[in-house]
Structure 1
Amino acid sequence: MISGDSASTAIIVRDPNIDSKGKAPIEPASPPAAAPKVQLAAISGKNNVRGCRRCIALLDFLLRLCAIGASLAATITMGTTEETLPFSGEFFQYHASYEDLPALTFFVIGNAVTAGYLVLSLPFSLVTVIWPQVLGLKLLLLVLDTVMLALVTSSAASAASIVYLAHNGDPKANWVSICMQFHGFCQRINGAVVASFVASVVLIVLVVMSGLVLRKH
């Protein structure tokens, strides 16, 4: 303001940052920084992969329980199979047992070994459920599962050949069918062979699953 003797002249300098009403305009807030979508997508993908691995490992554990039940059923059924015909005399006995045939004895041993291995493999399978990223343990289980698959399949195949001969015989070799007399014996060995093949199928699934998991890495 400039003052004089006769008049006063006021010069007002207006601040460009203040509007006509005397209020400073509100500056628009700056938009928030864009979220790193790529990083979030990568983290989400890793979580999905980890969850998929855990689900596969859990399925592996459950299938091992099924294989244990099937192989144990085959072992117990065949190992307790014997029958003596009621018309056997004091000096002549018509008796059938798995111990009379080496193929059936091998069947019992093969399925018992497989069942024992599967029981011992349960803690290792449980570790892969908790820590699905442990690939070395999965590779070990894959190798041992393959060995057990070969053992249980060969034992089941050898027993299946005996079951076939027991039902049909072999006329060319003059081997007669024994299932006409030993009904209970044949029924039990039939069930044991079926249970053993079920265990074989489960082991095949386990081997394929482990192979696919390791192939992705």
Structure 2
Amino acid sequence: MKGGSIEDGEMSKGASIRKGMTKGLSIMDFILRIIGAIATLASAVSMATTNETLPFVTQFVRFRAEFDDLPTFMFFVTANSVVCGYLVLSLVLSIFHIVRSSAVKTRILMVSLDTVMLGLLTAAASAAAAIVYIAHKGNSNTNWFAICQQYNNFCERISGSLIGSFIAVFLFVVLILLEAVAISRN
């Protein structure tokens, strides 16, 4: 037996392990994208369907709180919807990466687009979180009263929708790191 054939066998074994690990990263990427799409869809639907009506002195005078009363919440719903759509569309490239684990250019494209979506989602979730904080605590310096004592169901739903959005933010950070590791493996 020649000495070169043993080294070639070891080289192909190392390449096979590297390829298997990259395929595993691609499968994990696919799963995280599905979870992220579900989280952003749930956040958008939860926020978009949030409203509460409270009766005032009579049956004819009522106070109503709706998500579209605040432009920040409309931005939140729009951003979560856009990110959800992107995640669903990116599943095609994620499947491509499972089949062809050595693809680098499409991974670089995915990292770039994931970073843009991370920025959009972080901005929307952070802005909505600031409004939710004001709704819960108020601000005595500006005479903004906490409305969550009166509109309890409204506040619970908008707070819950933030959870799904921040889960998706975390998943995007993990996705970007997974893609970077997969690129470095190639």
TM-score between the two structures when normalised by the length of structure 2 = 0.95
**Which residue does the alignment assign to 1:185?**
154
Structure 1 position 208, deviation (Å): 1.2
Aligned to 1:149: 118
Q: Tell me how far apart the structure 2 counterparts of residues 208 and 51 of structure 1 sit (CA, whole Å).
A: 18
Residue 103 of structure 1 corresponds to 72
What amino acid maps onto 1:152 in structure 2? Answer: L
- 1:213 deviation in Å? 2.2
Please give the residue correspondences for 1:105-184 in structure 2 after superposition, counting only pairs within 5 Å: 105-184=74-153
Q: Contact 1:72 / 1:111 at 8 angstroms: preserved in 2? A: yes
Distance between the aligned counterparts of 2:20 and 2:55, measured in 1? 60
SS of residue in 1 equivalent to 2:118: helix
Aligned equivalents of 2:57, 2:68: Cα separation in 1: 19
Equivalent in 173, 180, 183 of residue 211 of structure 1: 180
The structure carrying a bigger helix percent of its residues is 2
2:6 to 34, 37, 49: 37
The separation in 1 between residues aligned to 2:34 and 2:57, in whole angstroms, is 42
- Asked whether the equivalents of residues 55 and 61 of structure 2 are also in contact (C-alpha less than 8 Å), the reply is no
CA distance in 1, matches of 2:184, 2:126: 30
Task: Tell me the amino acid that sits aligned with residue 143 of structure 1.
Answer: S
Asked whether the 8 Å contact 2:132–2:155 carries over to 1, the reply is yes
Q: Name 1:8's counterpart in structure 2.
A: none
Give the whole-Å Cα distance in 1 for the aligned partners of 2:129 and 2:115: 21
Measured against aligned partners, the alpha-carbon deviations of 1:109-131 in whole angstroms (never above 9, x if no partner) come to: 00000000000000110000010
Letter in 1 for 2:147: I
Q: CA deviation at 1:205?
A: 0.4
Detail structure 1 runs of 4+ shifted over 3 Å in the superposition.
86-92
Corresponding position: 1:59 with 2:41: no
- The count of residues paired between Structure 1 and Structure 2 equals 185
The TM-score normalised by the length of structure 1 is 0.82
Which structure 2 residue ranges, 5 or more long, are not aligned?
A: none
State, as a whole percentage, how many aligned pairs show the same letter.
Answer: 37
Instruction: Give 1:89 shift.
Output: 4.0
In the other structure, the counterpart of 1:68 is 37
Greater radius of gyration (CA): 1
Matched-pair contact (CA < 8 Å) for 2:18–2:185: no
